[in-house]
Amino acid sequence: MFDQVSHFIGGVPVAEGPLFPVYDPVTGTVVRQVHEADRAVVDRAVSAARTALPAWAALPVAERARWMRRLADAIEERFEDLVAVEIADTGKSISQTRTLDIPRGAANFRAFAEIAAQRPESTYHLPGALSYTVRKPLGVVAVVVPWNLPFLLMTWKLGPALVAGNTVVVKPSENTPGSAAVLAEIAAGIGLPPGVLNVVHGFGGGSTGQFLVEHDGVDAVTFTGESRTGSSIMRSVADRVKPVSFELGGKNAGVVFADADLEAAVEGAVRSVFTNGGQVCLCTERLYVERPVFEEFADRLAERAGHLVFGRPQDENTTMMPMISAEHRDKVLSYYDLAKTEGAKVLAGGGVPAFGDDRDGGYYVEPTVLTGLPAESRVNREEIFGPVCHITPFDAEAEAVALANDSEYGLAATVWTTDLSRAHRVAQRLDAGLVWVNTWYLRDLRTPFGGVKLSGIGREGGVHSLDFYSEPTTITIKL
């Protein structure tokens, strides 16, 4: 499926532009070829979205919500194709792909269909005057999405953008074009009006992504990915003051108190450090553990890291996946080497697994647990985005909060304690957009989702997404 990936413009495939390869991260072999969109192809996609906009925006929201539900139903009909293509591009385990990545695609479209259809409007009464608001879509929205949760994150943005009446041009990551190509086929299959959803493939800076965000016909940009790319996009759109919604990088902290359920905290850390190979913006890379339980926690986490299963994606018991690319694998390993150079104590991992089969050509790294480095170490300050964490002991609550907040990022955090008052007190003091207490990545799609500082601008989720993807006009009538 999809040996060659085309763009999708105005409801039809467009096989134009030089081809570039996508590699299977499990073996490092080419899995498909993809056309790279130049400025002219991007211009055609933006024009198709502009042409489709008036009719789509004019539909009643209930009709657009029905289209979202049709997309969700059609996603479920193509479930196995989506699972296969996402695994081929990313090397994810089939268990994660089948339980998280693809199901969230249908769930995202359904959630925003309901949230939009049920959303109450407001009126404001003054003596002698009545005010109310009407919401209009932003227009043509550029949707630039990453390689770590390709289908989940693309649909997380498309649901609210489309149901709010916008038309979109999606630029998937050059590493993971497949599931977007399937979604394009799905859209064509259900007869989504041509031009409502367009997909262009290519790279970022100096390529398709840059051509798209800086295109005069694009009214807004939503992006999930690295903070420095977010900064670059801001520069590209600054002259036109285009609205941006950014979910960017993180250097997320986990705080474990001595009164925590230690087994739950260890299990939670295994998930929050190693899920998706640590390639999730919400993953924990810094752990702070109260000294009385530091040794036991560190030993148990290190032991669990050593037992993660490097099976192939199709193996049901696989729990560790490869990095998305050779380049990213090398970046993660450079931090492993830096940690060792700086004198870290390596409690688990620190290198590359040897399989003795075709996986040696893939992009695997060992799950790694470090300790012994100072707060100012680059390992504790820079986003690594791999299966690695550093653990630091602390002695007092205030110290733990200060350590956790000592970061240029502020996306997510976890707090592990059985002291109810402390749970609320610490959670409220953490500089993060998301704090999970005695759990991780438990998601209510209605809640505000996003980060502070370098971790982003704005919030997605529930009405917060709809607020980004539409502009209110306040109308006041003299009675």
- Which residues of this protein are in contact with ligand 6UN, per CB under 6 A? 148-149, 153, 156, 280-282, 443, 449
Among residues 36, 214, 281, 383, the one annotated as catalytic is 281
Which residues are CB-neighbours of 103 under 8 A, at least 6 positions away? Answer: none
Q: How far is the CB of 99 from ligand 6UN (least distance, A)?
A: 13
Among residues 36, 174, 214, 247, the one annotated as catalytic is 247
Q: How far is the CB of 283 from ligand 6UN (least distance, A)?
A: 8
Q: Which residue matches tokens 């059985």?
A: 418
Among residues 393 and 462, whose Cβ is nearest to ligand 6UN?
462
How far apart CA 21 and CA 3 sit, in angstroms, is 10
Is 56 in contact with 28 (CB distance < 8 Å)? no
Angle at alpha carbon of residue 192, lines to 187 and 197, rounded to 5°: 65
| Annotation says 283 is catalytic | no
Q: How far is the CB of 443 from ligand 6UN (least distance, A)?
A: 5
Among residues 384 and 401, whose Cβ is nearest to ligand 6UN?
384
Angle at alpha carbon of residue 270, lines to 250 and 85, rounded to 5°: 75
Among residues 425 and 443, whose Cβ is nearest to ligand 6UN?
443
Q: How far is the CB of 475 from ligand 6UN (least distance, A)?
A: 34
Say whether 96 sits in a helix, a strand or coil: helix
Say whether 109 sits in a helix, a strand or coil: helix
Which residue number places its CB atom closest to ligand 6UN? 281
Among residues 340 and 446, whose Cβ is nearest to ligand 6UN?
446
Among residues 280 and 339, whose Cβ is nearest to ligand 6UN?
280
Half-sphere exposure (CA, 13 Å, Cβ side) for 340? 12
Pairing, β 456-457 against β 244-247: antiparallel
Q: How far is the CB of 391 from ligand 6UN (least distance, A)?
A: 22
DSSP secondary structure code for residue 449 in this structure: B
Is 290 in contact with 395 (CB distance < 8 Å)? yes
DSSP string spanning 244-278? EEEE----EEEEE-TTS-HHHHHHHHHHHHHGGGG
Q: How far is the CB of 59 from ligand 6UN (least distance, A)?
A: 26
Is 433 in contact with 456 (CB distance < 8 Å)? yes
| Annotation says 281 is catalytic | yes
Among residues 100 and 369, whose Cβ is nearest to ligand 6UN?
100
Q: Which residues form the catalytic set?
A: 247, 281
